[in-house]
Amino acid sequence: MKPYVRAKLSAAAILSILMLILVSSCSLTRRLKDNQALVRKITIKGVSEEFAEPAKNYVDKQQQPNSAVNLQFYYLFSRNGKKAIGEPPAILDTNLVEFSRLQIQKFLQNKGFLKAAVADEIKVKNKKAELVFNVTPGTLFKVKNYKDSIADPKLVGLYRSNKSLITHIKPGKRYDEDSLAYDREQFYQLMKRNGYYDFYRQYVSFSVDTALGKGLVNVDLQVDNPENKNGHTQFTINNTLISITGSSGRKRGRPDTLQLDSQFRFVDFSGKFKPKNITRYIFQKKGQIYDIDNQTLTTTRLSELNVFRNVPSPTYQKAADSSNRLDTKIDLIPLKKMSDRVEGEFIFNSGRYGFNLANTYTNRNLFGGAEILQVKFNYSILYDNAKEQAAINNGIQNQDFRIGANLTYPGIISPFNIHSLGRFGIPHTTFASNFQYFYQDGLVARKSVINSITYDWKPDKRSLHSFTPINIEFSSGKIDANAQKDLLAQNRFSYIYLIGRTVFTAGSQYTYTRNYSLLNSYQNFIYFRGSVDLGGNSLALISKLTDAKRDTLGQRTVFGQAFSQYIKGEADLRFYKSLGGEKQFIFRLNPGVGVPYGNSNQLIFEKNFYVGGANDMRAWLPRTLGPGGFNRATYYSDDAQRARFKYLDQFGEIKIVANAEYRYKITSNFFGSKLKGALFSDIGNVWRLKDEVPGGKFTLATLPKTTAIGIGTGIRLDLDFFVFRLDAGFKFKDPQFSGSNQWVLVNHLDELFSSGTFKNNYYQNNGEKYSFMQLNFGIGMPF
């Protein structure tokens, strides 16, 4: 069986799984006994939604209504509980209903309804049960007075000076035991940030007087002293011992031992680390008071060096004298110095298939300063079994080979004295060199080399700056003689110039990212990533100062080669909205534009935008959409030319993409992992700045009709440390067609999985099959 035939069968099987997840039409009660009922609804009456919705979480887990999909998974795969797949049916249990009633009552009392009473009612119809909890809330109690009774006078001033910043308990506000727990934790943290190493939560308690009547309470914060002591002791940091074992965790041989200064003693059994790059990220300094925040910061930064295993919290020993000093010990176990990772990927769509093979070699702590060297190799090949493509190059569409090396240093390497930027994250300096060879038989062979230096740093907890002051790129292409002859015959000089020229540029890049640390959360937030790429200005200045010669096209040269001059910008703006639990809605806007100027009238081929693939327009393969309403069937004179330029002619200097995605949890237990789902819509395209191809130029007037729309659904297998993703995207509006014919899914839904007039006509005009659906495999979220 041919690979592309197997791919079709796989696509059908995968789509069947998606449909199974989305469509659950079988009866949910079909396996219940006559005396059983399935809990399908929970209703809480008598209190506002502010309390009713969270109160539902206090209903016992076994009485929480199942989702239809969860239950169908259990019925289909679990074999009546023999395998832990999906969730078993929530069968009505009166004992658990009574337990839930008491839990809801306690929850409401903790929220200020101190005299709340809850009664339960069970309604059953057709083996489906509704649990109704009727609440008699009584008076909502509020705080009248809030005072403190702290035994240690030193703690009184410290607390009162910070009280407004840390307390949730305020006179006139609703009494809430969660606020008491919050204030207790905040008091504990305040002490631990101010030298009180021996302070424990048990010292903090509250006395609540509810006998005032009229719905009022008095709250008294009480802080006790240690037993048989008159107060709490404040500690300062003394000496620090850093001990590094071998990667096995054992202490073998004679270690490298250094007394660095009056604080740090460095003992390295591995013999591979330079002390300075470790001690610079230890924020507990001798003579300073003990601060738990500096302790956490130290362990976090040492972990971020990515050369140690999980970094434990330091251990402390009190000095033998009465000086109230703490000696610190930090035990570190290095990761293995060298590692190798192999990755593979397979793609298929309507007779097109291919694979991508990658290998990453990592050498940690290369020079003893926690430097990391990565050497990456990547090879990909794409086959196309369309008849014209097979005739040109035996079905091979293109091949891509890449190799590169990155050396990352934990710090800023600069001729200038830059203050340490490590409080909010470790800064990095990365030296990178990458080579790429792209080959498409019968068209072009392109080579490119990129060398760069990049600085990354975090000015606060949520922001990331990335600045590449030096980025030197060299690229060259050699066009197949027959392809060049065809292009010349049709006066398409721009393609020859774009993919066949030799050009280099030197420039700078800058990227700013905001709220990157929240991407794996379910909070409401706005994510932003903006980048600017500016190239050729320094070379333009040099060429003018030296009065450099121009080439045959009139471009100035440096070292005998024409250089590119351009500016390119791109933004990624996302709005994340939590819908409760693990449900989330995301809207993303991703525009970009690149403009050649000065010494250039075209962008370098690699600087252009394209869409399609697993992360933006998911109903299209990469490089198969646009520009604008460009139609390959009418642009090329024959199928051979059309096949020759496939994946290389659908790009643009302008990109606008918008995505909307709803994410939800399907089941918490699918073969031991969480299974999640998504519904999405993708809107966008790429366009040209100039009128170079029919329908490809960007104008506001033609924007609506040249914009593509895709819809789809997907599943995500969440393994905690990474996510496997499978998305099925469907073309809804295809701008390569005109008028009402663009609404392909509406007009030709009957041909979604079969061939008819539409698909047959497309095949005759384009020499390839039309596919409504595109399957995308990936690791991680699309955005």
Identify the DSSP state of 233.
P
What is the phi/psi pair of residue 745, to 5°?
-70, -35
* CA dist., res. 564 & res. 685, Å (int): 25
Residue with tokens 């030709």: 748
- For residue 487, give both structure tokens: 């292009």
- For residue 711, give both structure tokens: 């819809």
Nearest to 351 by CA among 703, 770, 777, 781: 770
Residue with tokens 């800064």: 427
Question: Hey, is 702 helix, strand or coil?
Answer: coil
Residues sharing a CB contact under 8 Å with residue 371, sequence separation 6 or more, in sequence order:
365, 407, 408, 409, 410
Q: Which amino acid is at 621?
A: L
Helix ranges (H only) for 472-560 are 481-489, 493-500, 537-545
**Taking a C-beta distance cutoff of 8 angstroms, is the pair 540, 533 a contact?**
no
Nearest to 3 by CA among 387, 347, 440, 342: 347
How many DSSP H helices and E strands does the chain contain? Answer: 16, 29
β-pairing verdict for 566-578 and 561-562: unpaired
Q: Which burial class, exposed, middle or buried, applies to 230 when counting CB atoms under 10 A from its CB (0-12, 13-18, 19+)?
A: exposed
* CA dist., res. 262 & res. 328, Å (int): 13
**Taking a C-beta distance cutoff of 8 angstroms, is the pair 648, 606 a contact?**
no
Helix ranges (H only) for 480-592 are 481-489, 493-500, 537-545
* pLDDT for res 753: 86
**Taking a C-beta distance cutoff of 8 angstroms, is the pair 751, 556 a contact?**
no
**Taking a C-beta distance cutoff of 8 angstroms, is the pair 650, 711 a contact?**
no
Q: Which amino acid is at 173?
A: K
* pLDDT for res 5: 39
445 alpha-carbon distance from chain centroid:
34
* CA dist., res. 290 & res. 197, Å (int): 7
Q: Which amino acid is at 510?
A: Y
End-to-end CA distance of the chain: 36
Cβ-count burial 580-607 (b if 16+ within 10 Å, e if not): eeeebebebebbbbbebebbbebbbbeb
**Taking a C-beta distance cutoff of 8 angstroms, is the pair 610, 650 a contact?**
yes
Residue with tokens 């990458």: 434
Q: Which burial class, exposed, middle or buried, applies to 722 when counting CB atoms under 10 A from its CB (0-12, 13-18, 19+)?
A: exposed
Q: Consecutive sets of 10 residues in the chain, 783 residues long: mean pLDDT of each?
A: 40 49 61 89 94 94 84 74 72 96 96 96 94 96 96 96 94 95 97 97 95 91 95 96 90 84 93 91 95 95 92 93 94 93 70 80 93 95 64 69 96 79 87 93 87 95 95 89 79 73 90 93 95 94 88 83 93 95 94 94 89 92 91 81 78 96 85 86 96 92 96 88 87 94 93 90 87 85 86
Identify the DSSP state of 65.
P
**Taking a C-beta distance cutoff of 8 angstroms, is the pair 138, 117 a contact?**
yes
Question: Hey, is 561 helix, strand or coil?
Answer: strand
142 alpha-carbon distance from chain centroid:
43
* CA dist., res. 286 & res. 94, Å (int): 62
Angle 578-583-588 from CA coordinates, rounded to 5° = 60
Nearest to 452 by CA among 467, 468, 435: 468
Question: Hey, is 696 helix, strand or coil?
Answer: coil
* CA dist., res. 445 & res. 479, Å (int): 7
CA-to-CA dists, residue 689 to 603, 607, 609, 737, angstroms = 11, 14, 12, 21
623 alpha-carbon distance from chain centroid:
23
Nearest to 429 by CA among 406, 451, 460, 405: 406
Q: Which burial class, exposed, middle or buried, applies to 23 when counting CB atoms under 10 A from its CB (0-12, 13-18, 19+)?
A: exposed
- For residue 331, give both structure tokens: 């035990």
| β-bridge mates for residue 78, sequence order | none
- For residue 743, give both structure tokens: 């609404």
Conformation bin of residue 46: beta by default, left when phi > 0, alpha when psi is -120 to 50: left
In 260-371 the beta strands, taken as DSSP E runs, fall at 264-268, 315-318, 325-332, 338-349, 352-364
Conformation bin of residue 626: beta by default, left when phi > 0, alpha when psi is -120 to 50: left
In 597-707 the beta strands, taken as DSSP E runs, fall at 654-670, 673-687
Nearest to 707 by CA among 747, 645, 658: 658
Nearest to 696 by CA among 755, 734, 652, 760: 652
* CA dist., res. 416 & res. 414, Å (int): 5
Identify the DSSP state of 374.
E
* CA dist., res. 214 & res. 586, Å (int): 46
* pLDDT for res 26: 62
Nearest to 450 by CA among 467, 430, 432, 438: 432
* CA dist., res. 687 & res. 704, Å (int): 13
* pLDDT for res 385: 63
* pLDDT for res 742: 95
**Taking a C-beta distance cutoff of 8 angstroms, is the pair 58, 131 a contact?**
no
| β-bridge mates for residue 726, sequence order | 715, 777
